[in-house]
Structure 1
Amino acid sequence: MSHEKIRPRLLDIDDAVPRKRKDYEEFVSSTADIFSIAMVGNYDDFSAERCGFAAKFTHQIFETDKIYGYKNLSVLIMFALGDFQVFPRITASKVVPEDMGKPDDIRGQFEKFMELPVCHSEAEFRQVLAKQSAFRPFGRRVAEYEKRSGTLVQTFEVYNVTEMSPAFADYIRRVQFAAMFFIESLNYTPSTDKRWEYYILYEKFNKSGEICYATLGYCAIYNFYMFPEYLKPRIAQFMIMPQYQLCSHGKRLLQEVLLQIASKKSVWFSTVECPNAAFQYIHDFVEASNCSYLASYAPDRLRNGFSDEMKEEAFSVFKMNKERAKRAYEILRLVDIKRGDRDEYNRFTKELKKGIYAKLRCKTLDRVSDGELCRPSDEEGSGSEEEVDQPADERSIVKAKYCELLRGYLCVVAQLKRNERPLPAPWVLKTKQNGNAS
């Protein structure tokens, strides 16, 4: 089936017939079902009509979630591996006749949303792919790692970008455009705000004797000012492209990002903006792995509970706040509990629930002081004053939060138990040791 736009037969006046509602509905497609995404190095690898990864979110681009003018519509949004130039490949069995209206301009909508041009033909995109060997990463290389499988050795590099250029502004906009199909409500970062910085993960490989780079993912960070002279970096966006997921690249990229942040004297501590469950898992995994190298988090000390020494060492070495340091402790303690040791497990769960209860009570008291609770009713003496949550309600809330927290922890624990040292030793430990020695 051709991937080019199908030209309808022009109708004569005598051919015109009354149209029914269902005639128009045949040419309406839901955006939830028609879009797929692919990172492309060789165009011929994507000759099949149905290929790529299904898009999860499209409402930011197509607000009505509907496209008019095509029958059996399929759109494969192809991104060049290196510079992420875009080619929306549109396939349809039929285009709406002219007397039934004009079909939606899909490529035009992409260009309007990105404020950048896209490729309009297969030939144009093939030319783009032929030039990918000329693409080079932006910024400064800060890390490199390898993955081995038999005789195959793959090389991956992390680059840090702190200065915006017109070329990088266009590049990161295309990368974020791809990420929008998988992260709900993701926005473009403004190119004029100098507080943004980026970490980009690339695969470095040899193709026909030429060094090439493929974009695997990125992390966008906003550096908030913190009085009097510190920064509080906030991880705002984090994405590994779908075809590179489930290969530990997210963990390696996030570990490097957190270590780079921790190595800066100007940083007080780092935070994360509205993490989803997938990122929360990676974040917990990386920080628990990092903390497992600290003396205060040794197994024999974990059994004594969370301590000020743990809090201070996690802050000093990794710029972690108290809450993150405690989460790492709870995960590592759960790892350390031997299978079948019910007494130790019960002590741990009791401690976990106690922490949840204390946090809940603290939030409730804050709400009372803000006037959210205990407000008198409009009618005096009606006896219908709102009251602070009853103990029974608190117990159910604590139980729900405990179950949710434990589910998240157990996913991390299962991975940590499979490999005693799943991530390399944090290089900031050597930096700290050398600094102390000098």
Structure 2
Amino acid sequence: MNGDLTATVSQWATETNEALYIQLVSGESVSGVLRSLDVTAQPQIDEEDEQTLEECDGADVIQFHPLFTYQIYGQHERVFGYRGLRINLRYAAGSLATLLDIEYARRIDQMETSLPVVLKADDIDTPLREVLCASALCVSREEFAEKVVADTRGFRPIGKKAHEYVHQDTVYEMYESSLEDAGFREYHRRMQTFLLFYIEGAQFIDETDTRWRIFTVFEKLVLNTVSYSLVGYCTMYQFYHWPDMKRPRISQFLVLPPFQGQGHGSQLYRYIHTLVRQTPEYTDLTVEDPSESFDDMRDRNDMRLLLDHSVFDGLRAPVASQTIGELQTRFKLSKRQMVRCVEMGLLRGLDKAGDPEEYRRYRLFVKRRIYAQNIDLLAELDETEKKQKVAESYAAVEDDYHRILSLL
């Protein structure tokens, strides 16, 4: 009996990362938007068709899944009690007016059963609504469709336009905002839910703190009318730095999945870094707990900047701390990032076979840094083990540098 019960229970479990469909919706007619909502709610849609399915129907829907839902549905990212579950989280592409609707074929506590226990379906609606902006939520499809049409025609980004660029014949605009700007605090509440879906361990910022600077990126489409779609955004906090400076730190950095891999993250990062470099009261640009993908993007852009300024010409290992400090001050990179870039720049110019002595000096330069950064952990090892661990770390570092350099 226990085996039968376990099998039955497992059949009613659903992975929430797969069941949740996030949509960015735009359209110029209420009827077209309503038709698009019906079509995208179908259980089976080919991935290739998801982003173009509604173009011929008077509306456009970009559809994608989250990476994480554990902050909403628990660490296992699974809910119980449904068959054919589909959680539709729909946003007006620009204003982020929101519609949440949940569909399923069957629910376990609505079924007749001979099981010896009463099984109850999980509450899916409440945990998700708790992280959404309540004032943005629409109560019906009709209300949402009307907002989408109005926003497609009339929504404009909030804040000061800071930058514009073109990618594949499409214009993208970047805006800088403060939580004190009229209407932006409300808009930020709509955006911040995306963080939970795509940044591991993400937390909402303190919206009463005026030291935040927030940058948003929008796709600008000019067809029958001008319309905007959110691409991504970044929050940057301004720490005090003695005696009269500020140290900016990138806290949250997100490009929505449909726009990833197109250079928008690099555009946003380069703009922020340029802003920091041009602002006298700023020291160096730091980053809070960066992901591997962000580190790669930052490495590529920082290296291109330094190469464009011929920073590594004539530079040889070992590089003096004073020289690294001067470069750090000049380009306003954190010390760790400046050291990393210097090491990559030196490796890029090495001829390992032609100048083995130069390569030996480079390895010693990097190994000394590795040893200094891990001195507490290495202190417990004997000399042979220390050398082995440092050598292993160096090999991994050099491999990683070659990987980054191959992307330049």
Q: TM-score, normalised by structure 1?
A: 0.75
- What letter matches 2:164 in structure 1? E
Structure 1: gaps of 5 or more residues: 1-18, 374-386, 417-438
Instruction: Assess if the C-alpha contact under 8 Å between 1:281 and 1:411 holds in 2.
Output: no
Quickly say closer, same or farther: Cα 1:126–1:285, change in 2 above 3 A.
same
Q: Secondary structure at the match of 1:342?
A: coil
* Separation (CA, whole Å) in 1 of partners of 2:322 and 2:124: 58
The 5-angstrom pairing of residues 36-435 of structure 1 reads 36-42=21-27, 43=33, 44=36, 46=40, 48-49=42-43, 50=45, 51=50, 52-63=63-74, 65-98=77-110, 103-117=121-135, 118-133=137-152, 134-148=154-168, 153-165=169-181, 167-208=183-224, 210-295=225-310, 297-299=311-313, 301-303=314-316, 306=319, 311=324, 314-337=327-350, 342-344=353-355, 347-348=358-359, 351-352=362-363, 354-361=365-372, 363-364=374-375, 367=376, 388-416=380-408
Shift of 1:93: 1.6
Larger of the two Rg values belongs to structure? 1
Quickly say closer, same or farther: Cα 1:323–1:346, change in 2 above 3 A.
farther
Q: Secondary structure at the match of 1:41?
A: strand
Quickly say closer, same or farther: Cα 1:200–1:345, change in 2 above 3 A.
farther
Shift of 1:130: 0.8
Equivalent residue, structure 2, for 1:9: none
Q: Secondary structure at the match of 1:181?
A: helix
Instruction: Assess if the C-alpha contact under 8 Å between 2:212 and 2:238 holds in 1.
Output: yes
Equivalent residue, structure 2, for 1:421: none
Instruction: Assess if the C-alpha contact under 8 Å between 2:317 and 2:361 holds in 1.
Output: no
Q: State the number of aligned residues.
A: 370
Shift of 1:395: 2.9
- What letter matches 2:128 in structure 1? F
Quickly say closer, same or farther: Cα 1:234–1:40, change in 2 above 3 A.
same
- What letter matches 2:21 in structure 1? S
Equivalent residue, structure 2, for 1:430: none
Q: TM-score, normalised by structure 2?
A: 0.80
- What letter matches 2:127 in structure 1? Q
Quickly say closer, same or farther: Cα 1:298–1:156, change in 2 above 3 A.
same
CA RMSD of aligned residues (A): 3.0
Quickly say closer, same or farther: Cα 1:78–1:137, change in 2 above 3 A.
same
Shift of 1:335: 3.7
* Separation (CA, whole Å) in 1 of partners of 2:141 and 2:372: 61
Cα deviations by residue, 1:263-320 (Å, 9 ceiling, x for unpaired): 111111121111111010011111111112224x153x24566456853553344212
Quickly say closer, same or farther: Cα 1:352–1:187, change in 2 above 3 A.
farther
Instruction: Compare 164-173 and 240-249 and name the one that shifted more.
Output: 164-173
Shift of 1:46: 3.6
